[in-house]
Structure 1
Amino acid sequence: MRFTHRHAVEADLPRIVDIYNAAVATRTCSCDLEPITVEARRPSFLKHTPHHRPLWVAEDADEPALGVVGYLGFLHFMNERPGYFMTADLAIYLHPARQRCGLGSYLLTQAAKAAPSLGIEVLTATIFASNTGSLRLFEEQGFERWGFMPRVARLEGSERDLVLVGRRLYG
């Protein structure tokens, strides 16, 4: 499969929400307990800009009719405190039909290439410890385990551990 990515536009928001809600339903990679709506997601969507903290959507170049099949967002690390602006927290979500086919690797590779032009030197992500597929994906892309937070989330009565992964791009 060949993938492409571009900056998300507001018309992509319903598909972004659909992909995210599919992840919410799995209880494996989000702490949201209920599906979100387009209107609820709009304020955070509007915070992304192409030159600061972009939000990308990915498409399958071999099947363009599918439309958006995943997305990656560069988020602020630690509540938008300026001293942390060199670090971005990544959010990556893939349509279930495009998981385990190279899309995640593609998006993370592109994020690492683009980060310096965005003033980003460090990439991080937090992943449930039980989400071995995502942990493996990030480790294959050069991320290391930088932290472990035991039992910090509860989903339907089940406590979850969280792993912080990170990658310093240079320096």
Structure 2
Amino acid sequence: MVRTMIRPAVPADVPVILDLIRELAEYEKAPLEAKATAEQLHAALFGPHPAAFAHLAVDDESGEPVGVAIWFLNFSTWHGVHGIYLEDLFVRPAARGRGHGKALLRELARICRERGYTRLQWWVLNWNAPAIDFYRSIGAVPMDDWTVYRVSGDALGALAGEPAA
């Protein structure tokens, strides 16, 4: 049986985290959209004011990182406490089905409980049936009564009052 070690990322992990992010972008059929650089990732995770956090799933047999969870804090005005928003959860295809993803989620749930956070939440692409099935198997429920909105690119500039390009 494969065992998983979950550990917080350290600065030396930035290259492998970047590789995992790119592999996730490939899986999600958007390889050209993953534009983060090692410098940006290092600043976000390990700079003076970290904006995000990462945990790695490391295969005990090989010692190699096989998965990553990248997350940040959100805040519930109704509960008055933080929660964890999981930005990315990715396990390399060859390592799937061995408990690495569940171990990463278990660690984030443990952090929530330890710190008094009331929520662990994330988005999933509608076409990603394997992920949806997995999430439901651990008790996650879809928030069907909410719709995600995003402003980016030229629309973001216009909203900010910038002149049109």
Residue 111 of structure 2 corresponds to residue 110 of structure 1? no
Identity of aligned residues (%): 19
Find 1:130's aligned residue among 122, 127, 131.
127
Structure 1 residue 72, shift from structure 2 partner = 1.4
The amino acid of 1:36's aligned partner reads A
Q: Which runs of 5+ in 1 are unaligned?
A: 154-171
What SS does the aligned partner of 1:45 have?
Answer: helix
Structure 1 residue 86, shift from structure 2 partner = 2.5
The aligned length equals 143
From the superposition, tell whether residues 35 and 25 of structure 1 become closer, same or farther in structure 2 (CA, over 3 Å).
Answer: farther
Q: Is the 8 A contact 2:21 2:34 kept in 1?
A: no
More strand by share: 1
Let me know the Cα RMSD of the aligned residues: 2.8
What SS does the aligned partner of 2:142 have?
Answer: strand
What's 1:20 paired with?
21
From the superposition, tell whether residues 117 and 150 of structure 1 become closer, same or farther in structure 2 (CA, over 3 Å).
Answer: closer
Q: Which has the larger radius of gyration?
A: 2
From the superposition, tell whether residues 62 and 56 of structure 1 become closer, same or farther in structure 2 (CA, over 3 Å).
Answer: same
TM-score, structure 2 length as denominator? 0.73
What SS does the aligned partner of 2:123 have?
Answer: strand
4+ runs of 1 displaced by more than 6 Å? 150-153
The equivalences for 1:59-74 within 5 A come to 59-64=58-63, 67-74=64-71
Q: Which runs of 5+ in 2 are unaligned?
A: 152-165
